[in-house]
Amino acid sequence: MRTEAMLLDIDGTLIDSNDKHADCWVEAFAHFGKHVEWNDVRVQIGKGGDLLVPDTLDAKEMRAFGEAVKSYRGELWKRRYMETVQPFPHARESILALHDRGIKLAFASSSNPDEVEYYVELLGARALLAGSTSKKDAQFSKPSPEIFQAALEQTGADPERTFAVGDTPYDVLSAHRIPLPVIAVLSGGFARELLAKAEYLFADIGAMTKELDRIDEYFRT
């Protein structure tokens, strides 16, 4: 039995953007007079703003500018940061290799719809995808399972032959809640021990695609 589908996270998995997201959040909080340490934000990248903001602000700050900082960060990202990020080496050829193997693919992201569209174009992946999610497809971001569930439904694949692929501990927790097995990659900058509960762990998406026969063995046991 072979893998039928893979649900691919974008940031940190296909696009080298996690550090830039941390930079953007720090700048956005500073705009409202809130100093946050870069490392305190960086470890939360992989969550959406719906979780990162209340995990960073206190109650008074949430009432004063909680919603405003999320909106400002989205505008700041598109204005200053989004066009500076690039795909990881071998990202597109890995997507193509998975597609050519007959694996159904969906991007599983809770980013804003226009950001996801930008990444689809940047990766040249539109014709290779069975689906693509964005913020509009879920009430809550990862580690809620909603995004991976929506991506799975878009592929129409059997969950017992589907992997989630991501780079953060929030991806791992999100997928296991469905439950889906997880292939984690270290390219997003998270420590190996934080991804230890994933079924497979690789350096990056390119290394993963070299081990597809071994990955298929998961569904034969």
Residues 70 and 97 grouped into a single domain: no
pTM of the model as a whole: 0.97
Phi, psi of 37 (to 5 degrees): -75, 140
Tally the domains of the chain. 2
Instruction: Report cis status (omega within 30 of 0) of the bond before 179.
Output: yes
* Domain-terminating residue out of 62, 84, 106: 84
Residues 99 and 190 grouped into a single domain: yes
Residues 185 and 111 grouped into a single domain: yes
Residues 117 and 205 grouped into a single domain: yes
Q: Which tokens go with 200?
A: 């497979």
Query: What is the per-residue pLDDT for 15?
Result: 98
Helix, strand or coil for residue 117? helix
Those residues with Cβ within 8 angstroms of residue 215's Cβ, 6 or more apart along the chain or in another chain: 3, 163, 183, 200, 208
Residues 74 and 171 grouped into a single domain: no
Residues 10 and 31 grouped into a single domain: no
Residues 204 and 145 grouped into a single domain: yes
Residues 55 and 150 grouped into a single domain: no
* Domain-terminating residue out of 84, 102, 131: 84
Residues 156 and 184 grouped into a single domain: yes
The predicted-structure confidence for 45-89, as pLDDT tens digits, reads as follows 999 999 999 999 999 999 999 999 999 999 999 999 999 999 999
What CATH number has the domain bearing residue 10? 3.40.50.1000
* Domain-terminating residue out of 69, 84, 99: 84
Q: Provide the domain limits for residue 195.
A: 5-16+86-220
The ranges of the chain with pLDDT < 50 are none
Residues 198 and 132 grouped into a single domain: yes
Residues 197 and 167 grouped into a single domain: yes
Query: What is the per-residue pLDDT for 200?
Result: 98
Residues 53 and 124 grouped into a single domain: no
CB 159 within 8 A of CB 175: no
